[in-house]
């Protein structure tokens, strides 16, 4: 999906909004290795973070990948503040109370010229689809 999006889209952003805030950040940490420009060969990573931060990501990519493969969500050796900053830059994470702000963020992307938004579901697909329909699509469509 990300490879195809990289060829066809201007950018890709993933989200992890769940009813419980910590569960959302767990999913975001776990999948951070695969979020947009973090995946090697790091196309455009320096476009979203400074070079020093990009270097930390490059040097610790195995820790990001391990958080995914082990399903631990623990990114060893990378400061928690940096992980949180990366999540905020390349993902939508938080609890239901933050959906309104994320929808505003999506609308700002639309005003900047983005024309498509694809939302991926993970651990609880049926619940996620229901939430997306009820809390996100309705706000994006103006319904």
Structural domain contains residue 2? no
**How high does pLDDT run on average in the chain?**
78
> Which of 11-15, 69-73, 106-110 is predicted with the least confidence, judged by mean pLDDT?
11-15
**How many domains would you assign to the chain?**
1
What's the pLDDT score for residue 82? 92
Helix (H) or strand (E) holding 92: strand 91-94
What's the pLDDT score for residue 18? 44
Model pTM above 0.85: no
Instruction: Return the number of other C-beta atoms located less than 10 Å from residue 87's C-beta.
Output: 22
Alpha-carbon span 47 to 11, nearest angstrom: 11
Condensed to tens digits (0 to 9), the pLDDT of residues 20-39 reads: 588 878 888 888 877 655 65
Domain containing 90: what range?
A: 13-140
On the question of pLDDT at 136 being above 60, the answer is: yes
Structural domain contains residue 7? no
What's the pLDDT score for residue 13? 52
């Amino acid at each position: 999906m990300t490879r195809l999006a990289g060829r066809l889209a201007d950018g890709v952003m993933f989200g992890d909004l769940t009813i419980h805030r910590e569960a959302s950040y767990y999913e975001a940490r776990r999948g951070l290795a695969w979020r947009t420009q973090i995946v090697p060969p790091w196309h455009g990573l320096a476009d979203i973070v400074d070079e020093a931060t990009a270097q930390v990501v490059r040097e610790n990519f195995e820790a990001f990948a391990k958080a995914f493969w082990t399903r631990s969500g623990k990114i060893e050796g990378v400061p928690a503040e940096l992980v949180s900053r990366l999540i905020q830059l390349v993902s939508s994470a938080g609890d239901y109370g933050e959906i309104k702000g994320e929808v505003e963020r999506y609308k700002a992307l639309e005003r900047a010229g983005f024309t498509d938004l694809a939302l991926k579901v993970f651990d609880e697909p049926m619940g996620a689809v229901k939430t997306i329909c009820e809390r996100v699509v309705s706000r994006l469509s103006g319904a």
